[in-house]
Amino acid sequence: MQQNSLMKSTLVYCVLFVAAAMSVMLYYAATKTVGVTDLAQDEVVRPAVRKEETTPAAPTGENEIAIDRSAKNTNYFCIPMPENVKAEEVVLENHYMDKELWVSISAAKAKDYEAFYRAGSVYGNCENVEDGYFEAEKERICLRFTLDDVYEYRSIFEDHILYVEFVPSKEVYEKIIVIDPAYGGEEQGVSVEGILSKDITLDVAKALKTMFDESDIKVYYTRMDDSNPGAEDRVELAAATKADMLIRIEVSGDENSKLYGTSAVYNSKYFIPGFGNVELADLLEREVVTSISGKACGLIESTAEDRVVNSATVPAAAIRVGYLTNSQEAILLQREDYIKRIAEGIYNAVVKAYEESGTE
pLDDT of residue 57: 43
pLDDT confidence tier of residue 230, bands split at 50, 70 and 90: very high
**Residue 235 carries which DSSP code?**
H
The span from the CA of 347 to the CA of 208, in Å, is: 7
The helix (run of H) or strand (run of E) holding residue 162 is strand 161-167
CA-CA-CA-CA dihedral for 348, 173, 128, 62, to nearest 10: 60
pLDDT of residue 269: 82
Decide if pLDDT at 282 tops 60. Answer: yes
Q: Write the DSSP string, 255-288.
A: S-TT---EEEEE-SSS--SSS-HHHHHHHHHHHH
Determine how many CB atoms are found less than 10 A away from the CB of residue 90: 20
Decide if pLDDT at 119 tops 70. Answer: yes
Bridge partner list, 298:
263
| Residue 19 burial class via C-beta count within 10 angstroms: exposed 0-12, middle 13-18, buried 19 and up | exposed
In 3-state terms, what secondary structure has residue 232? helix
Q: Are 25 and 204 in contact (CB under 8 A)?
A: no
Residue range 103-116, pLDDT digits in tens: 999 987 777 789 89
The span from the CA of 249 to the CA of 203, in Å, is: 10
**Closest Cα to residue 79, out of 120, 128, 138, 137?**
120
The span from the CA of 341 to the CA of 359, in Å, is: 25
**Closest Cα to residue 225, out of 47, 3, 39, 357?**
47
> What domains can be seen in the chain, in order of their start residue?
34-47+55-167 (no CATH), 171-356 (3.40.630.40)
Decide if pLDDT at 188 tops 80. Answer: yes
Q: Are 116 and 82 in contact (CB under 8 A)?
A: yes
List CB contacts of 3: < 8 A, sequence separation 6 or more: none
pLDDT of residue 234: 98
Residue range 52-99, pLDDT digits in tens: 333 344 445 779 999 999 877 788 999 999 998 999 999 999 999 999
